Chains A and B, each alone.
Chain A
Amino acid sequence: MFALIKREIQDHIAYFIGAAVFSVVFIIISFSLISRYDHRKPPVFSIGFGVPAATIVIFGICAMGATQMYLDRTRKISALLSTLAVSRNQILLAKIITGILAILILFVPLTIAAGILLRLFTPPVPMFTGMVLEISVVVFLMAFACYCIGLQTGWNSSPVTPSLGALFLTCILIPLILIKGFGVHIAVILVLFIVASLIRTWHTFMKTSL
């Protein structure tokens, strides 16, 4: 299993490097937002830089899922690996764990940094109690849901469907945060969406002939 995960990481190392780089970028943006916060001057630069960066990150995560499945399908990686002592379950599980690792590399340092910065720079009033955790959980779930969209659309032999389909569906799903905010409701919807997407992906992956 570890060998499979290691191989997946090696195959998609660019995404891991990107996740680490963007994590640092977001920590810098958070630092500038929190430490220099002045309600009279809107943080135009931070927002102007942060929004495109967040968009790239979300599409990047989705692209990772799509790439994993598309390369598997077109290069017959599963067909090759199935000749070894691994099952298709393990192959898919390794892909999903790799995806989760990439998302965690991006968000865990950011969450820790945001928590520390809020403790350092905000008054000792429980104004932000639970907010960092709630927002982090929802953002993680949204990123994972986008990754799942990538997994679903990527299992295709044509390069157009994975790229455009994933882009289109991600554009539909992300505004769910605008509709529902960061509360429990969106977390429940996203968890159900992720479970449903993984079942669908698993079914497709297991039932398709090699």
Chain B
Amino acid sequence: MKTLIKGLALNYPVKVFATGFVVLTLLSIPLFWFRFICWTSLSVNMPDDAKRVFVRPSGLVPPEFENDPNVVSHSIVSARIHSREKGLLSLGIVDYFIRRFPGEPRSNVYFSNGNCMYFDKKSGQIVHTYTQKQTMPDKTTLRKVVQFYVGPEGVSETRDKTLGRFIDPIIDQGWIEHRWVDGRWEELRELILYDKKLRCFFKIDFNQRTVIKGPKLGKNDRRHKPIQIGLLDRTPFELSYLNWTPPRIEVADRDPNKIGYSSTDLKPIIPTDYDCDAGPYLLILDETGGIDLLDKETLEFVTGTPQFPGVAGRLPAPEAYFGSKSSVTPRELLDYEVWPLALTTYFFENPEEVKVTFGDPSFFFKRAPSRIERKYLGMFAASLSRDGTALALAVFDEKGTVIKTEYSRLPRQEGRYTTYVESSKAAFFGTPWSPALTIGKYLAENLHPPILSVASYFTASAFEAASGHRALFFLPNSFIAMKAEDRGENIVERFLSALWLILPSIILAIWLACRVSKDAVVVGLSENARAYWIIGTLAFGLTAYITYRLTRPKITLVTCPNCGKMRRPDMAKCHRCKSDWLVPELRPPVWRVLGKPY
């Protein structure tokens, strides 16, 4: 074994591969930074008009509110790219810490704000700790720390095996947002979670201290693979921002002499809660990008009927540089956000007293309603493309039908007409410095090994969008990889176009291979070794050339007496003319000196 390892380590090809990997790593890092600077500058300098998209009126507000004669500003849904943060957030070190924040995918802690809730992997139970205030008879306040353990079978104040084990739970993120982003703590009511391994939804009622288990999804049910429930938002630090504003009317005490309206002069036509609420349903994002509706009461997916298909919609596909796909998965998007809209009607003891609101702002009411009716109106979904340059915004009605889809585009005035350029193209060529930065990015990509560029073409969709921005060897955001997403051409045409995109890289590889070939002849490498080096240099370009220069035999050459060219002294025959060493025959002279001269 020891001999084998020693033999392998001292093997010339092993040394070449080892050196090659060292060179590839050390070359890829500066190339990454160059691409990173170009790409970040392009994102930041994107024209402002190309960064936003909106739909007005939003299309989901009932006509009696939208077309009310008092409305001075119609409802609007808008999405916007936040490109300034994008550069830093795409770095792995930032991503590493962000993903471990409470509520994020890599964290088992759902929130930690004095009170805390986390999933304890060892016991398989959710631990919830909070401080309870109790007012004593002498009016002093007593603080008591309460701890709950929640399992699939129930809730207990002690860690108990009979509670069962969760394996891979995901919880309704919206529930957490409601509680600790607002900066105040509300009493717990209920929490819905889904366990990916148990394939089952659970509803935890904190008041009753019970856990309701929904029906298990069938093993053959391949359509439902939930990855996020409730609040559907990819990142805590928004790379894109989705906002909805209801129809607004003038405030009563507005200055009558003032011309025009500012946001302080307007108020929503009916009370509005801006927390994302789908009324009687919970939005469930599937790994395919589809969004389903879950009934909060029965914990079952809403069954489709011709009148109500039971599907909320799907994430829209942004217009990429080389055309858009018909559908996208969450993995292919740098960011997404979904905003459901629901109408809530509150009935009070007085039958004439009825209040209608958007969402559920009931905590503003002084009296508790006697009955509440919740109606799901539809949802808005925004998606940010893999490279962060294109945004799509879609509006779905309550049946999951697309009402409208808008894409981020840059308006351009051409004479009397306005044309629109896709934001993914405007980002690369829309501002004064952007062509130079685009060329810089393109050249840096072409210094990458051609074989890895081709591999990036084939593997682009396999990489998660965010991780693609910190890729070193495979480049899912390179131009050639973007070409792989082009659905406008057939497979052969697309591949040939992709090769055309790395033409500088191929030309460089051919030129370097010629140089290696010539040098290999000079240093006397065997035919096989030369062939391997030529193939290697064609595949790995600059990396292979540097590796060759570092590993080529370092032997001082001598002049061949036969051909006059430089030859290796350690070989029996000249590697240029194949002649032997011309060693003069040593013949003794016929004469001899026999004695002293007279």
Please list the residues of chain A having a beta carbon within 8 angstroms of any beta carbon in chain B.
89, 123, 125-129, 131, 152, 169, 172-173, 175-183, 185-186, 189, 192-193, 195-197, 199-200, 202-203, 206-207
Q: Please state if A176 and B9 are interface contacts (CB–CB under 8 Å).
A: no
Of residues 119 through 136 on chain B, the ones whose CB sits less than 8 Å from some CB of chain A are 120-121
Please give, as numbers and ranges, the residues of chain A lying within 8 Å of B15 by CB-CB distance.
199-200, 203
Residues of A within 8 Å of B33, CB to CB, are: 175
Query: Considering only CB atoms, which chain B residue lies closest to A185 in the complex?
Result: B92
If A126-B109, A172-B29, A202-B9 touch, whether A179 touches B22 (CB-CB below 8 Å) is no
Give B97-126 as 1s and 0s: 1 = Cβ < 8 Å from A's Cβ atoms.
100101000011100100010101100000
Residue of A nearest to B101 (CB): A127
User: Contact: A193 with B92, CB < 8 Å?
Assistant: no
B109 interface neighbour in A89, A127, A176, A178, Cβ under 8 Å: A127
Q: A175-B33, A189-B25 are in contact. Are A200 and B472 (CB under 8 A)?
A: no
**Complex: how many Å from CA A203 to CA B29?**
25
Beta-carbon contact of B10 and A206 below 8 Å: yes
Closest to B92 in A: A181
CA distance in complex: A128, B118 (Å)? 12
Q: Which residues of A contact B25 (CB under 8 A)?
A: 173, 176, 189, 192-193
Note all chain A residues with C-beta closer than 8 A to B121. 126
- Known A125-B109, A127-B107, A178-B93: A197·B26 in contact at CB below 8 Å: no
Given contacts A127-B109, A183-B92, A186-B92, contact A193 B21 (CB under 8 A): yes
Binding site for A on B (CB under 8 A): 6, 9-10, 14-15, 17-19, 21-22, 25-26, 29-30, 32-33, 91-97, 100, 102, 107-109, 112, 116, 118, 120-121, 470, 472
Q: Are A173 and B29 CB-contacts (below 8 A) given A125-B116, A127-B109?
A: yes
Which residues of chain B are within 8 angstroms of A178 by Cβ–Cβ distance? 91-93
Using A126-B108, A179-B472, A189-B25 as known contacts, say yes or no to A131 and B100 having CB atoms under 8 A apart: yes
Chain B interface SS verdict (over half): helix
Q: Could you tell me the distance in whole angstroms from the C-beta of B542 to the nearest C-beta in chain A?
A: 15
Whether the Cβ atoms of A199 and B102 lie closer than 8 Å is no
- Given the interface contacts A196-B18, A197-B18, A200-B15, does A126 sit within 8 Å of B120 by beta carbon? yes
Asked whether A197 and B108 contact (CB < 8 A) given A125-B116, A178-B92, A180-B470, the answer is no
Contacts of B120 in A (CB 8 A): 126
Q: Which of A127, A131, A195, A203 contacts B10 (CB 8 A)?
A: A203
Instruction: State whether A196 touches B19 (Cβ < 8 A).
Output: yes
Question: Inside 8 A of B18's CB, which chain A residues have their CB?
Answer: 195-197, 199-200, 203
Most chain A CB inside 10 Å of its own CB: which residue of B6, B25, B26: B25
Distance (whole angstroms) from the CB of A96 to the closest CB of chain B: 13
Question: Which of B17, B92, B116 contacts A180, CB < 8 Å?
Answer: B92
> Which residue on A lies nearest to B127, using beta carbons?
A125
- Known pairs A126-B120, A131-B100, A181-B92; A196 contacts B9 (CB<8 A): no
| Closest A residue to B19 using CB positions | A200
**Could you say which residues of chain A place their CB within 8 Å of the CB of B109?**
125-127
Contact A169 B470 (CB under 8 A): no
A-B pairs, top 3 by smallest CB distance, nearest first, are A181-B96, A181-B92, A199-B18
Q: CA A152 – CA B26 in complex, angstroms?
A: 13
Q: Contacting A199 at CB < 8 Å: which of B14, B100, B108?
A: B14
